[in-house]
Amino acid sequence: MGPPPVVTGVSPRDGPPGTRIIIRGENLGNDPKDLIGLKICGVDTLMTAEWKSSKKIIARTGPGKGKGDIIVITRSGGVGSCTVGFRGFFVQIGPLQDSAVWIDETQTVLANLGRGRPSSPMISKEDEDPLGISNEGNRAKSEEEMLEHFPDASGNLTLENFSPAWYLLENHQQASFDDLKMGLSYMKRRSSQQSEGPITFAKANLSGILDCLDSLTEMCEKFAKDDIQRECINSYAVSLMQAKSCADGLFQEVLGRKDKADATRNALGVLQRFKFLFYLPLNIERNIQKEDYNLVINEYIRAKSLFEDSPIQVFQKVYKEVESQVMKFKEMLQEKLRQPNSLEEQKKLIKYLMSLDIDNDPGWGCLLSQEKWLTKLFMDCKDSNTQEIQEEVPIAPPRHKASGGSLGLSLQAESRRELQEEAPVPPPRHKTAVVSSGLSLSGELVKVTSKSSDQMAGQKFKMPQKVVFVEELTDIMGRHFPDFWKLGQAYFSGSLHKEGGDKSYKPDQNKHAQFKQMVCEILRLFSNLLRAAFLPNSLENLSEKERKMYGQWPENKRDVPGAWLPHCVRYVRSCASSLCRLDLPSDCQACVQELALDMRTNCMFTLLKQAIADVRSLHIKETWIVELDDEFGGRTQLPALFGNIVNETVQHLHEVVVQNKTGETEIFSQRPVQIEATKLCTELLQGFAPCLEQLAFSVDKPNTTSTQSADLTSGSSELVMESSEDHLPSKDKKLIIMLSNCNHTKEHLIPLLVENLNKHGYVEMNKVLRSAQETYEKLDKKLFDSYVEEKSNPIIGSMEPNMYRGRFDWANYKRVNGVRNYLKEVLMGMIEIHAEVFSISPLFVSRVMTKIVDAVAEEMSRLVQCVTKFGENGAIQARLELLALQDAVALYRSAATRKSFKEALDCLTVLTQDNKKTLEDQLNKFKMQFKFQLMCFHSDTGEISESKT
């Protein structure tokens, strides 16, 4: 025989009957069969034993009571021993408590009966403390004493008038507060364990219960065997039934009370659990007020899932109320959705509606109402503005011209303020129109030419209605259309529905097309409204009715002034480009892009025309102040002004119109635009010519005193003429000034301007250059010819009479005595011309002088050839004079001049040696005499350097 089993460990070491324990030790058997006995507290529990190893057995305790041994018996080791034991105790089984083992109730029941108390359903054993604190210390107070303190109470847990204070004083007077706290948590745990229910209990005590059943059947069989008459068993049955009914009777009351309590508890629980439903109507209302719609919806959905099909009337009633509230809520949301709102807000509303299970498609509905709303906004905007313009007092046309400069800007700002008052939506503040100084120049023109400036100052400035209109309309567009489009995108991408719940909407292809249609409609409306205002001609193909719909702007009023156009264009363009960024279908936004392009083109043409007009009226700006310039000769400021207008117009146009933004059509890509632009450019460049011409030939008051011979001696390089009308230069002086201007324009300015235009994308500039230069060429010729004629006529006209002054006779001339005065006068006249031209423009000197000299030489030659007879001295005199003249103007001799001289000299007889000498002497004498006067003819450059020094 092997070593006997020893139990050295038990877990747990105590418990009620049926406790599952782990027994550990040594030699607890070699295998399950080796284990042949297990006694715990003297009760055989082999049936429950589960052999794990020779060191470990798991078993359940039986109904043994008190501390006892755990004895293992094995076949191999015999009866064992133990160093640890198990303490079995009876859990207090109350009358209503489940128990898997037999309980001897006689004691408790009888005791309770004896004391006339109902047995407690809660506490199973009197001496077990509900707090789990062991009863230590004696009772400090007697019952009588306690009654004194608590007259109506009792320390009995089972009684209605139970007083916890009494109980604690009675049983735990000495317990510390901590112990009491621990006791409380112990009690809580216990009560929660009790509520776990009978199934867990039966599970945990399965074997015990089966044991009980087995024993009962066994008992019954044994009885049946013994009881031959079958009377006994019947009488047992009868007794049992009686006992049962007796017990039932006994517990009826208790059970009834328990049932009632349970029912009440249930009801309370239900109320507690569903109180949210009863509060729901109130809560919904509150949350709607707080705009916490999500919460409303969540609560509603929760209520719906819980109570929609609830058969309970109370719930039905409240739920109906909730339903009707939610119906109203839905309507409110739908109403809200119909109203304009931010995109996010709308998406939210749609999601709310979706999650509320709205049957119709709220997203689509919203899109529809948005379209209507947008259309209405556009139309309203148009109506209010056209109306405004009708009501406008027919005052002077909007002072666009005044918009140049700071005055214009401040006025504009003011009008904006005014605008803000009537429209809640201030137009987006783009760069205000920058009006070039070229345009402000024309502004001054208007002041001078047309309306009196007084009237203008008195008039309240107002932004042209159309400009207001374009600002408002583009603002509406920019503000609301993207939202509309994005909402549509969201709708079709399904992102509106994602959170909407189970329904998965498939974007209906039909609706997709419809939406696109809507977008196109809106954009077309937008562009046509603007067209009606700015480009009414482009709507010509439409029916009268349609045109009416797009708004009729009074024709008689002056059109939007050019200075405002860039402003408008800017609005339209930025609107178009923001649409571009939205990734609209290209065919939809085409009309807006076209509109933008047309607006640009229109603006460009208008501004160019404006510039042409400005250029053409430049002549009134002439001050006749000539500034000398070594390179190009003298000129007034007019060419520079002309250049400025052109350049600034080009620059301005480039900034607002020509320059392309991404996605825009190149403005010069259209052939008609090219042609028109080129045409306008040509006109613009040519426009200066009439101006010059007009100035050159302008006949002013016959007061030409101030145009007296230019004062050569003054030596000043700047001829100051007072700009007052009384001190205008003489006619010929004007001619030469304008000639110089014209030349400068032709040679210098035009190429520069053309280059600039070219640089900015204007096409066919060669053509423009050519035609412009042709124009100026013509003007140049005309001016030049007039000038030369103007200048040479007096000299030539006076030559013949002067030559024959003092009854001069070539045939009988006595003595050759130097060059005669007439020739000196001719020379002086030429010097004077030289000086005048030189003072304006040295460049022209040679050109003018050649022409003059030519004419003089021709006249001289004619005169000489007309002489019928020369005397000897006469011939010498004639030769002397011819040679003197020839010599003096040698620098400006042309072929024709040379020919004239030759022909004249050929008529004269050949000189004798003597005469030759005389001639030479006389000639030298003249040269000496006139040395200084003639110096100017010697060399232009020499002259210039001399005049400089």
Partner 1 sequence: MSKAKTQQPAVIHKVIMVGSGGVGKSALTLQFMYEEFVEDYEPTKADSYRKKVVLDGEEVQIDILDTAGQEDYAAIRDNYFRSGEGFLCVFSITEQESFQATSEFREQILRVKNDDNIPFLLVGNKADLEEKRQVTAEEAQHRAQQWNVPYVETSAKTNANVDKVFYDLMREIRSRKMDASKQNNGKKIKKKDSKRKKCTIL
Query: Which residues lie near partner 1 (CB under 8 A)?
Result: 4, 8-15, 24, 55, 79, 81, 83-85, 131-134, 149, 165, 168-169, 172-177, 179-180, 182-183, 185-186, 189
Nearest distance in Å: CB 96, partner 1? 25
C-beta closer to partner 1: residue 193 or 705: 193
Nearest distance in Å: CB 80, partner 1? 9
Nearest distance in Å: CB 189, partner 1? 6
**Is the N-terminal amide bond of 12 cis, ω within 30° of 0?**
yes
Nearest distance in Å: CB 209, partner 1? 23
Phi, psi of 176 (to 5 degrees): -80, 165
Task: Give me the helix-helix angle, 688-697 and 638-653, nearest 10°.
Answer: 160
Nearest distance in Å: CB 54, partner 1? 11
Under a CB-based contact definition with an 8 Å cutoff, are residues 65 and 87 in contact? no
C-beta closer to partner 1: residue 175 or 522: 175
Nearest distance in Å: CB 122, partner 1? 18
C-beta closer to partner 1: residue 189 or 290: 189
Nearest distance in Å: CB 482, partner 1? 57
C-beta closer to partner 1: residue 91 or 628: 91
**Which of 747, 770, 766, 748 is closest to 757 using CA atoms?**
766
Measure the CA dihedral 163/164/169/172, to 10°: 150
Under a CB-based contact definition with an 8 Å cutoff, are residues 407 and 442 in contact? no
Dig out the tokens for 255 from the structure. Answer: 């059970």
C-beta closer to partner 1: residue 55 or 727: 55
3-state secondary structure of 117: coil
Nearest distance in Å: CB 136, partner 1? 9
SS3 content of the chain, % helix, strand, coil (to 5): 65, 5, 30
Measure the CA dihedral 502/503/506/511, to 10°: -150
Pairing of strands 56-60, 20-26: antiparallel
Residues 72-100 as b or e (16 or more Cβ within 10 Å = b): bbbebbbebebeebbbbbbbbbbbeeebb
Residues contacting 285, CB < 8 A, separation 6+: 325
Nearest distance in Å: CB 103, partner 1? 22
C-beta closer to partner 1: residue 165 or 224: 165
Phi, psi of 507 (to 5 degrees): -60, 125
Nearest distance in Å: CB 45, partner 1? 18
Nearest distance in Å: CB 257, partner 1? 31
What is the distance between the alpha carbons of residues 621 and 442, in angstroms, rounded to a whole number? 10
C-beta closer to partner 1: residue 174 or 894: 174
C-beta closer to partner 1: residue 13 or 679: 13
Pairing of strands 56-60, 50-53: antiparallel
3-state secondary structure of 635: strand
Q: Tell me, what DSSP letter sits at residue 91?
A: -
What is the distance between the alpha carbons of residues 817 and 877, in angstroms, rounded to a whole number? 8
Helices within 812-871 (DSSP H only): 821-840, 842-866
Nearest distance in Å: CB 44, partner 1? 17
Nearest distance in Å: CB 62, partner 1? 19
C-beta closer to partner 1: residue 25 or 488: 25
C-beta closer to partner 1: residue 83 or 716: 83
C-beta closer to partner 1: residue 139 or 451: 139
Nearest distance in Å: CB 48, partner 1? 18
What is the distance between the alpha carbons of residues 90 and 483, in angstroms, rounded to a whole number? 78
Nearest distance in Å: CB 178, partner 1? 9
Nearest distance in Å: CB 495, partner 1? 47
**Which of 938, 856, 843, 948 is closest to 894 using CA atoms?**
856
Dig out the tokens for 307 from the structure. Answer: 């109570």
β-partners of residue 635 are: 627
Q: Tell me, what DSSP letter sits at residue 664?
A: P
Nearest distance in Å: CB 485, partner 1? 58
- Kindly list the distances between the CA atom of residue 280 and the CA atoms of 106, 292, 309, 832, 889, in Å, as whole numbers in the listed order: 55, 14, 17, 112, 119
**Which of 622, 623, 597, 736 is closest to 688 using CA atoms?**
622
C-beta closer to partner 1: residue 152 or 391: 152
Dig out the tokens for 929 from the structure. Answer: 């005499």
C-beta closer to partner 1: residue 153 or 768: 153
C-beta closer to partner 1: residue 124 or 775: 124
Nearest distance in Å: CB 12, partner 1? 4
How open is the CA angle 550-553-556, to the nearest 5 degrees? 155
What is the distance between the alpha carbons of residues 394 and 556, in angstroms, rounded to a whole number? 10
Dig out the tokens for 649 from the structure. Answer: 């117009």
**Which of 878, 856, 718 is closest to 799 using CA atoms?**
856
Under a CB-based contact definition with an 8 Å cutoff, are residues 81 and 6 in contact? yes
**Which of 336, 339, 331 is closest to 372 using CA atoms?**
339
Q: How many other C-beta atoms lie within 10 A of the C-beta of residue 920?
A: 13
What is the distance between the alpha carbons of residues 311 and 332, in angstroms, rounded to a whole number? 30
C-beta closer to partner 1: residue 178 or 422: 178
Q: Could you give the count of Cα atoms lying within 13 Å of 351 in the half-sphere of its Cβ?
A: 16
Phi, psi of 722 (to 5 degrees): -70, 140
Phi-psi region of 26 (alpha: psi -120 to 50; beta: other; left: phi over 0): beta
C-beta closer to partner 1: residue 182 or 712: 182
C-beta closer to partner 1: residue 168 or 411: 168
Positive/negative CA dihedral, 731, 734, 739, 745: negative
